[in-house]
Structure 1
Amino acid sequence: MVAEPPGRGHNRGPALEPGRGWRLHCWTKARADLLPTLPIEILRNRVRRAAELGLDYRTYASVRASTGHDVVAFLFSSNALRVFPGQGLPADRAARLERLAVGRIGLAQGRLLPDALLAAAGGLLEGAHPAPPPFAGWSEQRRRLRTALGRIPSDQVILVGDAAGEREWAEAARLAAYIAADRYMPAG
């Protein structure tokens, strides 16, 4: 008798019929064996790298695990940087950008022009580009973000944003991750 394959939504975990305990043990062990055991020096380097990027280790490890790559750049929305027409970059945001030793690209939103964002950042951004307009479709969002990234692979970039629609940009462009500005650059 051939067992039927699990139905939709099944995580292929152990069944709940008799012998469940043994199957659960085997399944748990098999899952644990799939996870790599990192040498302590690699783990230390990754913890150090997470700190260099201003990320907690869990977020950094999640990006590494999901993409298989290190982070090489950040995209910052002008909202996340708190730069608006006629205003400069706040000191706390400037200090955060100054500590980053990876690519830093700005996305100018609304009436803010990319040149004005670059000027406000005072040399702390390597480039600035127009952000996708509100309610833009995924293809337009992807096109704008790919233009901003140039030759940088999207799965090696984290977007730091501060408005509801910005999380969607990361999904549309298949970026490594989205981080809310208040989590990445907390006030204080």
Structure 2
Amino acid sequence: MTAGIGHNGGPSVASTSWRTHCWRRARADLLPVLPVEVVRTRVRRAQSLGLDYRTYAGVRATTGRDLVAFLFSSNALGVFRDGQPLDRGRAEKLDILPLDRHLGVGPGLDARALGQRIEAVSARPLPVFGSQWAAMRNEAKAWLHAQGLPGNAVLMIGETDHERELMAAGGLAGFITGTHYFTGENHAV
């Protein structure tokens, strides 16, 4: 079979292995080769934030900037009713977090009271489940503006798909589960 006009005579791109090779090569060519000291600095920064390096580097690569704040959900904190104590391990991890922490609470919880307990800069109810995308976006953008925060520098720590949608609607830097952040466990969904 002869090749048509414009064919360079190279291997068929219909092959999955060839496409995979091309994709990996193009991706490797795009990634900068960072000096060892920069990588070490970023590893230390990730550790100080309580993140694994892969998560931290992924956020940096996606947003192009460092994190300035975390937005925790009450679900991620494991608090589901007013007055419920915060798990000791979670409280200890929050105590050493060097960034500003903000809080979004689920329905029926006193945002101000829980916010005070975790020393949050701001605390507010999360949009209710079933909220329209535009409403969630507008609410998140208004909150970010009121706090003087760039959305792509705020990492959301949540648990639910609804909270993940809020992160995307608000243009936040990323989302990780509270389970992953506080315990290091990573559950595939």
Q: Same fold judged by TM-score > 0.5?
A: yes
Q: Shorter-normalised TM-score: what interval? A: 0.7 to 0.9
Distance 1:74 1:34, change over 3 A: same
Normalised by the size of structure 2, how large is the TM-score?
A: 0.80
- For 1:1-16, list aligned pairs within 5 A: 1-2=5-6, 15-16=13-14
State whether structure 2 residue 149 is matched by structure 1 residue 152: yes
Q: Is 1:131–1:144's contact at 8 Å kept on the other side of the alignment?
A: no
Report Cα offsets for 1:165-184 as digits up to 9, x if no partner: 11111111111111011111
Give 1:128 deviation, angstroms: 0.6
Per the alignment, residue 8 of structure 1 pairs with none
- For 1:42-81, list aligned pairs within 5 A: 42-81=38-77
State whether structure 2 residue 129 is matched by structure 1 residue 134: yes
Query: Unpaired segments of 5 or more residues in structure 1?
Result: 4-13
Per the alignment, residue 7 of structure 1 pairs with none
- For 1:64-143, list aligned pairs within 5 A: 64-83=60-79, 84-121=81-118, 124-143=119-138
Report Cα offsets for 1:20-63 as digits up to 9, x if no partner: 98x99787655433221100100000100110111111111111
**Aligned partner of 1:32: which letter?**
A
State whether structure 2 residue 183 is matched by structure 1 residue 186: yes
Report Cα offsets for 1:56-108 as digits up to 9, x if no partner: 11111111111101111110011111222132333222111111111200012
Q: Is 1:78–1:106's contact at 8 Å kept on the other side of the alignment?
A: yes
Per the alignment, residue 35 of structure 1 pairs with 31
State the aligned residue count.
Answer: 174
Distance 1:43 1:111, change over 3 A: same
Query: Unpaired segments of 5 or more residues in structure 2?
Result: none
Q: Is 1:106–1:125's contact at 8 Å kept on the other side of the alignment?
A: yes
1:179 is paired with a residue of what secondary structure?
strand
Identical residues among aligned pairs (%): 43
More deviation, 51-60/29-38: 29-38
Rounded Cα–Cα distance in structure 2 between residues aligned with 1:116 and 1:157:
22
1:48 is paired with a residue of what secondary structure?
helix
Normalised by the size of structure 1, how large is the TM-score?
A: 0.80
Give 1:156 deviation, angstroms: 0.8
Rounded Cα–Cα distance in structure 2 between residues aligned with 1:135 and 1:103:
29
